[in-house]
Amino acid sequence: MDTFLLFLILLLCTHAAQADDEALAPYQARFGRERPVIAVIAQNHMTELADYVVPLGVLRRSGAAQVLALATEPGPVQLMPALRLQPQDTLEAFAQRYPQGADYLIVPAVHDSKDPALLAFVQAQAAQGATIVGICDGVLVLGNAGLLHGRRATGHWYSRKQRLEDYPDADWEENRRYVADDKVITTSGVTAALPLSLALVEAIAGKPRAARLAREFGVQDWSPRHDSQRFNLGASGYLTAAGNYLALWNHEVFSVPLEQGFDEVSLALAVDAWARTFRTEVRGSAAQPASSAGGLLFLPDSPADHPALPGLGATAIPTLDSTLDAIARRYGESTRRLVAAQQEYASSERSGAMARRNNMDNP
């Protein structure tokens, strides 16, 4: 075969493989459903704010699926590091209502990744053919449920050592915002919830709808490309966190107004950032429970008797960027870096060229 022709074929195959690697597998309808059923589950005691709220907000507002906010038990969900909301139903009630199971099950980071009820539900949904999505350290739940054996996966950079020790037979990757291996999808830290949610919209409803939503949220790229190796706390990060935490006289409490129809995605990213400074407590304020743009019912913590949270906006990524700028002005650049590292986020202006995709065993 002609050398040039062989080279061209190999190049085209490589590009095809990369294209397949970039996008999630298209949704395949099951059980005669017009739209897929997506369940996003929480642990009532403590569930990561952005991991839970961002997929719910994005996917509900896409109109591409029936999206349900679930919790392990009846009653409110305490989100970490701030805010509370009322889920629609419990895991048990969902299983009764949808005996065939969900099409997608989204698992955020939770306080207890070994909760027996949570693990049993995840295992049951996987056995029924659901695609299981671990957001951030929701991957620990998937690992404890036995879903990572021999699979490619990723997680928050901070849990790398724990993941390597606890699940050594998984093929851990970095420099990826999300990794899909058959019906198991995992993501890197916190802010990866937004691009992953857009990737799910694309898989279900096509790229044009995902692109329209991305513009609404200020997202330019929702591919898996990510520079996770740049993130760490280092000695300076730990010193900043300790200094902020111990300086009790400098701690502040802010109120965030929960107004009907507010943008829950922007709010979640901004509140998550402020509450990770180790100097700021954020409380939701409203006269009564308030529904967000995506129909999530948030519960007030207190009346609006504290200063308003700075930096809030109506578009997710610009809001997060302005929030980090406000944090730097108020608490210093070291605190901005501390927060951005925890959220595993670099704005497009600061991120530079993306790193190559490496496996952790071959950096």
**How far is residue 42's CA from residue 73's CA, in Å, rounded to a whole number?**
9
Judge whether 4 lies within some domain.
no
Q: Encode the chain (363 residues) as per-residue pLDDT tens digits.
A: 454 444 333 333 333 333 445 689 999 999 999 899 999 999 999 999 999 999 999 999 999 999 999 999 999 999 999 999 999 999 999 999 999 999 999 999 999 999 999 999 999 999 999 999 999 999 999 999 999 999 999 999 999 999 999 999 999 998 999 999 999 999 999 999 999 999 999 999 999 999 999 999 999 999 999 988 889 999 999 999 999 999 999 999 999 999 999 999 999 999 999 999 999 999 999 999 999 999 999 999 877 688 889 878 879 999 999 999 999 999 999 999 999 999 999 876 343 333 333 333 322
Do 316 and 290 fall into the same domain? Answer: yes
Judge whether 359 lies within some domain.
no
Do 304 and 210 fall into the same domain? Answer: no
- Please provide the distance, in angstroms rounded to a whole number, between the alpha carbons at the two ends of the chain: 36
Do 236 and 210 fall into the same domain? Answer: no
Are 266 and 313 in contact, with CB atoms under 8 Å apart? yes
Do 165 and 22 fall into the same domain? Answer: yes
Domains identified in the chain, total number? 2
Which region, left, alpha or beta, applies to residue 9 given φ > 0 means left and ψ of -120 to 50 means alpha?
Answer: alpha
Judge whether 52 lies within some domain.
yes
Do 141 and 235 fall into the same domain? Answer: no
User: In terms of DSSP bridges, do strands 297-299 and 290-291 run parallel, antiparallel, or are they unpaired?
Assistant: antiparallel
3-state secondary structure of 74: coil
Judge whether 1 lies within some domain.
no
Among the three residues 228, 262, 290, which one is the final residue of a domain in this structure?
228
CA-CA-CA-CA torsion sign (340, 341, 346, 349): positive
Do 202 and 217 fall into the same domain? Answer: yes
Do 253 and 307 fall into the same domain? Answer: yes
Closest C-alpha among 276, 324, 330, 341 to residue 307:
330
Residue 345 belongs to domain with CATH number: 3.40.50.880
**Cβ neighbours for 321, distance < 8 A, ≥ 6 positions apart:** 347, 349
Do 290 and 213 fall into the same domain? Answer: no
The domain of 178 spans 18-228
Do 169 and 36 fall into the same domain? Answer: yes
3-state secondary structure of 208: helix
Do 70 and 202 fall into the same domain? Answer: yes
Are 282 and 275 in contact, with CB atoms under 8 Å apart? yes
Are 38 and 59 in contact, with CB atoms under 8 Å apart? yes
